[in-house]
Structure 1
Amino acid sequence: MSQARLNVRLLSMTPDALSVIYAAFRQCYSPGYVGELWPRLVGGEVDVAEQARFVADVMESGHHSPVEHVSFTFAVEGVSRALTHQLVRHRLASYSQQSQRYVNESGFEYVLPPQIAKIPEARELFEEFMARTAQTYGRLRELLQAHGRKGAKANEDARFVLPQAAESKIVLTMNCRSLLHFFALRCCERAQWEIRAMAKKMLVICQEQLPVVFQHAGARCVGLGYCPEGERFTCGRYPLQPKPSQSGG
């Protein structure tokens, strides 16, 4: 058993992503057929910088739906089941997660919360529990197999003792609009620390690959310039949302 380490890798993204978004935006405002424009876009006849400027200008106006035509696929490891339970609540996405039924979790890795790691007594208690759980899981598998529950049949029952800290691996695909929403929520300081760390790694990758779409992405306060969370929940990074002005008459 050992402590898991977060790792995020980009597997793939829509080819010619900028040109796809540019073509989609153009189709919204053009009487012509962008299918005829496409060879010029991918052939380099329309300057990439011009495409980026157009996309940025239209997005600045609040028109975001055409970015849904581009998606990113990530492979993630070193995250807890607690994180993936939060992640899959983002419904406009596709997920393929490591199965605790088909994968033998004997000696599973685990995610250690930083605040627990800071307290020696708490860390010792946490790690002792992980070790006891691994032993219990292994013994349950042995007993189940001895009574005819072989392979995945033993795993599917023994897994009920596994903790939320158990490490998991997952492949996820989101389109750009879903990613913008994901980053707005999960890069916020109010988000749970583990999913926030994963979101920030994903954001760096997206900004490198498609800066025109993700240059201002992140927690909602980044784009708004103020904190929309209210006085009770603000982290103090940005001023609070301005209150509506009241005019007398």
Structure 2
Amino acid sequence: MPLSIAARPAEREKFEKLMSEIRNLYTEWTEMGIPAEDARYILPNAAETKIVVTMNVRSLYNFFSLRCCSRAQWEIRALADKMLAEVKEVAPVLFEKAGPSCVTNGICTEGAMTCGRLAALQAKAAKG
């Protein structure tokens, strides 16, 4: 659940009630024989999705440079941050320079939408 909803008790309650109703109807439909791919149409866009990916080191570096960025959507950013922490545990030398491009390459690709992290890093480096 997004923090912006979870932080509001009344809205959180509405969200949980609606999700419960949707889950119950989805279960009812699939149990009566409606194919899951059809019953899935009742699910909201924010439905939890399980993913399995295979990436090599180069692909992981690219993924981390894009998805560890603070401008990335919060769910994928949280996943990327967790994945980065895990690969750094397993292969610290390989991934010591992995992360968002502003930190690892000194480049922000967000243009006017920058979060300001690169400028802060540059200012800190200039101070010594």
State the TM bucket, normalised to the shorter chain: 0.7 to 0.9
Matched ranges for 1:208-247 at <5 A: 208-230=89-111, 232-239=112-119
Is 1:134 the counterpart of 2:15 in the alignment?
no
Is 1:124 the counterpart of 2:13 in the alignment?
yes
Matched ranges for 1:166-181 at <5 A: 166-181=47-62
Q: CA RMSD in A?
A: 2.2
Matched ranges for 1:1-249 at <5 A: 112-142=1-31, 145=32, 149=33, 154-230=35-111, 232-239=112-119
Q: TM-score, normalised by structure 2?
A: 0.80
Structure 2, unpaired ranges of 5+: 123-128
Greater fraction helix = 2
Q: TM-score, normalised by structure 1?
A: 0.44
Measure, in 2, the Cα distance between the counterparts of 1:223 and 1:141. Answer: 47
- Give the residue type in structure 1 aligned to 2:104: G
Greater fraction strand = 1
Measure, in 2, the Cα distance between the counterparts of 1:138 and 1:216. Answer: 45
Structure 1, unpaired ranges of 5+: 1-111, 243-249
Deviation, structure 1 residue 121: 2.5
- Give the residue type in structure 1 aligned to 2:99: G
Please give the secondary structure, in 2, of the residue aligned with 1:157: helix
Q: Is the 8 A contact 1:221 1:238 kept in 2?
A: yes
Structure having greater relative contact order (Cα 8 Å, sep ≥ 6): 1
What does the per-residue CA deviation read over 1:111-166, in whole Å, with 9 as the maximum and x for residues that have no partner?
A: x1112111222212211210121222233335xx3xxx4xxx53232222122333
What does the per-residue CA deviation read over 1:9-60, in whole Å, with 9 as the maximum and x for residues that have no partner?
A: xxxxxxxxxxxxxxxxxxxxxxxxxxxxxxxxxxxxxxxxxxxxxxxxxxxx
Determine the structure 1 residue equivalent to 2:125: none
Deviation, structure 1 residue 226: 5.0
Deviation, structure 1 residue 207: 1.5
**Which structure has the larger Rg?**
1
Measure, in 2, the Cα distance between the counterparts of 1:129 and 1:208. Answer: 39
Deviation, structure 1 residue 229: 2.1
Q: Is the 8 A contact 1:227 1:239 kept in 2?
A: no
Measure, in 2, the Cα distance between the counterparts of 1:154 and 1:174. Answer: 32
Give the aligned length: 121
